[in-house]
Each structure stands twice: as C-alpha cells, then as structure tokens.
Chains A and B, each alone.
Chain A
C-alpha cells in the first residue's frame, strides 16, 4: 500500500476468477467469429477449423459462468438473476445474453451442423451410443434432400444472427467494466470495442493452437493454407486491437483528467510487468513482428521460410498472444482495483494459492474447457474419420 486508500478498499473485491471470466468469454466469442468466417464470408481456407472452432466455443462457453459462480458470496442465490433481473443493471443481462448465446446460437448451430452426421452415427452405432446419438438428434432423423438443405440454410442464418450475438456477448462484458463511472481506469466508451477485438484475437489464436496441437496428436498433416490464413487473420485482428488500445491510451493521456497521476503511477509500478512486459512487448509487439514477417498477411509474407518454421512461429506467436490477452484481462480487472477511488494511493493484490478464489481453482477452470472439448471431440468428431479408425479409437 502506498498513499491513501479508503479503508474499505483494503480488500480487493474482484479476484483472479474475475480475470478468468472475460478471458474465457473472449475465447468463446473469438472462436465463434472465426467459425463464422467460413460459414458466412466463405473463407474456404479455414474450413478445416470450422467444426473445431464451434466445439471450442461451446466447451469454453460451458465453463464461462463457473468462475463467476465460484466468486459469488452466495452462489446458491445466483438463480435470482433469472428471477428478478434488474433491467438497469449491466450485469443482470448476463443471464440472458448467456442463455441466448448458448441455446439460440451455439447449440443450434452445432445441432444443425451435426444433425446429418448424428443420424448416420445413430444408425451405425450399437448399444448406448446409438441411443445417445438418437437422443441428440431429438428424433429429427429426416435426411431427405430438402431437409438437409434446410439444415444448411438454418445454420447459415444462425451464424448471421450469431455474429452480432458474439459481439454482444463480449462487448457486453466490456460494458460491465466500461460503464462503471466511479472507476476512471474502467470507465471508457472504447472498453466494449477493445474487449471485442482482443476477444477475436484470443479466439483465433486459440483455434490455431488447438488445430496445430490436435493435428500433431492425430499425426495428420497440417493444412498450411488454412494455417497461413489463420495467421493472417490473427495479424489483422491484432492490428485493429492494438490501434484501439493505443487510441484509448493516447486519449487518456491527452485528456489528462484528475486520475492521470495515480494511473501513471500504477502503470509504472504495479502494472509494469503485466502491462508493459507481458501485454505490450511479449503479447503484442513480438507476435505482431513475427506474424508480419512470416505470415502472408502483408505482401504474401516478407520472408516465407519453410512450412515447418512457419508452423513453429505461428504456434509460438499464438501462445504469446494468449499470454498477452490474459494480461489484458488482468490489467483491466485487477488494475482497476489497485488504485484508490480517492485517487491518492495504490494497494496491492496477492493471488492466493489454494482456496476458492485462488490460483489452483483458476488452473482447474482453465483446464476444464479442454477436458470438455476432448469429450465433445470424441462424441462429435469435427473431422471425417475413416470408419475403421473410429472403431479402433474405441470411443
């Protein structure tokens, strides 16, 4: 602690779990928007990742409310948010935006996408798997041509609705912070937009990592056209993201309101590692440099290098980007609580190791989506497997 903070500010209210929440919803929104590229904008190169991106979004969306739930003082009362939502509260809309996005967008899109396959799998499988797939089709087993055409059209329309919904999902998370007028670090009209683009960045990077790693495990060749395209989109999204963040930064600096002194102090001391080192240098400048040079984003790639090298560089850049985006979430959520609203002092945040809001819980919650994704991939394989191989897998 340094300077003066209000006595009630000694305790940080929103801990590591609340850092995790916008990080995870960002991954969801980003992965979905990537999936929609293929569907709506006909970017055929990224087709190999379409289903994977959808399942990834679902896996992370299922985990998204858990850190919130674990953080509540009374988790058993969380249903009240559906019972008596306060229409004036940005947070009250969470339940509805989440429910809308989960059921109307993601589940429906996956359902229409997989319905044909599920019907086929149900016919082919035996025992409980047969009933599982049959149940998942909800009994809609019509595989006639008009029916399949309807699936495709419905999927396209849902994606069209889904894009603004994904924007809503994550822009809204940004609004939760951006609308807090009491907090000059948060209160910014750009906050939802910055959240959105950083979400897209993190989603693309995540799908890129998953695609490379899963291909490695499945010993399948990586489609380099797809990977180059992903890397290019990652680069473009990052450019927009960085521009917005710089705009926000310059705007604050130029307006130089009464909070500027304490915020500069905070950046120079408390947030130096997480903002300057992790977010800016490691998470933004380095990957931006590598992607700019090696991906075909600019000028068909300045130095193309071998496929092997590019794969490695893309993978490394994507990992750095994920670290950087996590740092962004940290700097927003924790940073917004490190300075006193008296604008006269800074406090400290120590992450607890165990405990409900500690590092251990965070790691479990971060690992959980991958477990869910593993199950989803087993149940709804996102790629076409030769029939023989699937049986050998034993699932």
Chain B
C-alpha cells in the first residue's frame, strides 16, 4: 500500500523534531545527573563545601582549655561556647584578627533566664526588672560556671510560674515547705533528688476536713465521703485551687 503524501511529509517533520530533541538532551543533561538518584550528584559536593561559621566547641577547647574545663564542670556544661560568643569560625581561622564578642550587658542572659511561663518549670529564671536592677549579670555570676551567689532560699528561683500562680491563689500565704519537704540535695541535683508531696488525705484535711481548726474561710469537705480513692492533689491543683 502506498504511504499517503501527508503521512510521509509529517513523518519527516516529526522525526526531525524528535531527533533534535534527543541530540539536545544528550548535550544538556548535567554530567553527574542520575549517578545516585534522579538528581545531580555534584550538588551534594557543592552543598557540603559550604563554609561553616560555627566552629564547634571542640575547636574552642583546643586553645581555651582552661575555660573549657571550667565550663565542663559547671552548670553551663551543656551550653556551647558559641551560644554566647556567636559563630567563631572566623576567630579560629585568624585568632589574632577576629576577636569573639562577649555579651556583658543585662540584655543577653535573660534570653534564657528571664521569667517566662512557657519555659519548663525548674529552669532557673529571674525577673529582669526586679532582679538586682542595672547590675550586669557577670558582677555576681560567672558565665563559665554559673551558680547562684548563694544557694537559693526561694523556690521561685527555679519554679517561677508556680510561685506566681500560688501568689494569686488562696494558698498565697502558705510557704512551699508547708506541703513539700525539700532535701538539701535537691538544690544540687534537682532531677535526682525530688521534693516530697503530701502522701495522705489527712494532710489537706488539717485545714479542709469538717471541723478542722484552720482558717474559717477554707472550704470544708467530708473526707470520708469525698472521693476517697484519690489523694487531694490528684484532682485539685494546690498551687492554684479552683476557688479563688
């Protein structure tokens, strides 16, 4: 059968177009494309070659071994040097030309240590307005091995949100130690040695049981009848009781 003229002409045009595309493709596809997957393998190398700005605390320790040792033994042992001193690869490359900044004003430390209720309780927090106003933090605290100047008497140093909520509640006048026994070691290893919590209903009953001798305005309940399965604080939040 004779091929129609139209088909022949169109065939030539299409064949030429496809051939041109294939030729162009063989020239234009990047060399390393497809080596590792559907991408340019060389891209990994160029990304890996990006210069680093943060040297890493190991680099700092190579020269500043004294400070590194001090830091490693103190409460900032997990805080890398460049958290406060900023990215210092430039200083590593040219130790004499580039000097790392050291934030000495009161603006920097509160980034971590200003009171903020969203922070986990137990994290040391202060109120920057009330806490020794105008004095730079480093007059009292050594940033490389910070400790409170005296072991804190006030639980609020680390439990700010609880202290604030309690201050607004009917329990405002109760000191923490009324309900919690705090071992001295809690201040040294706070996560290992924990304060106690009231272990029996009768403890709260000293104020809240019927006929208790506490303040008259404290609500009273029948300890025997009122949900005897639970300790009081399993339902009520004593730092901020429901009735205010």
Contacts and interface: CB of A to CB of B under 8 A. Distances in A.
* A, B in one complex: yes
A137 B5 CA distance: 11
A108 B5 contact: no
A342 B29 CA distance: 38
Contacts of A83: 25, 28-29
B29 A140 contact: no
Contact of A154 (B6, B9, B13, B38): B6
B150 interface: no
A84 B13 contact: no
A108 to B, nearest CB: 7
A82 B20 CA distance: 12
B10 interface: yes
Contacts of A82: 21, 25
Interface residues of A, number: 21
Nearest to B8: A140
A138 B10 contact: yes
Contacts, number: 39
A355 interface: no
B149 interface: no
B33 A84 contact: yes
B4 interface: yes
A42 to B, nearest CB: 24
Contacts of A32: none
A288 B14 CA distance: 44
Given A82-B25, A83-B29, A84-B38, A138 B4 contact: no
A147 B14 CA distance: 20
Contact of A150 (B6, B13, B21, B25): B6
Nearest to A153: B4
Contacts of A112: 6
Given A83-B29, A147-B4, A140 B9 contact: yes
Interface in B1-53: 4-6, 8-10, 13-14, 17, 21, 25, 28-29, 33-34, 38
A268 interface: no
A104 to B, nearest CB: 9
Nearest to A146: B4
B25 A140 contact: no
Contacts of B38: 84, 86-87
Nearest to B13: A138
A115 interface: yes
A112 B5 CA distance: 12
Which among A139, A140, A147 has the greatest number of chain B C-beta atoms within 10 A?
Answer: A140
A120 B17 CA distance: 27
A254 interface: no
Contact of B5 (A79, A87, A142): A142
A111 B7 CA distance: 12
Nearest to A85: B38
Given A84-B34, A103-B14, 5 more contacts: A83-B29, A115-B6, A140-B5, A141-B5, A154-B6
Interface of A: 79, 82-84, 86-87, 103, 108, 111-112, 115, 138-142, 146-147, 150-151, 154
24 contacts: A79-B28, A82-B21, A82-B25, A84-B29, A84-B34, A84-B38, A87-B38, A103-B14, A108-B10, A111-B10, A112-B6, A115-B6, A138-B13, A140-B5, A140-B8, A140-B9, A141-B5, A142-B5, A142-B6, A146-B4, A147-B4, A147-B6, A150-B4, A150-B6
Closest 3 CB pairs of A and B: A138-B9, A140-B9, A142-B5
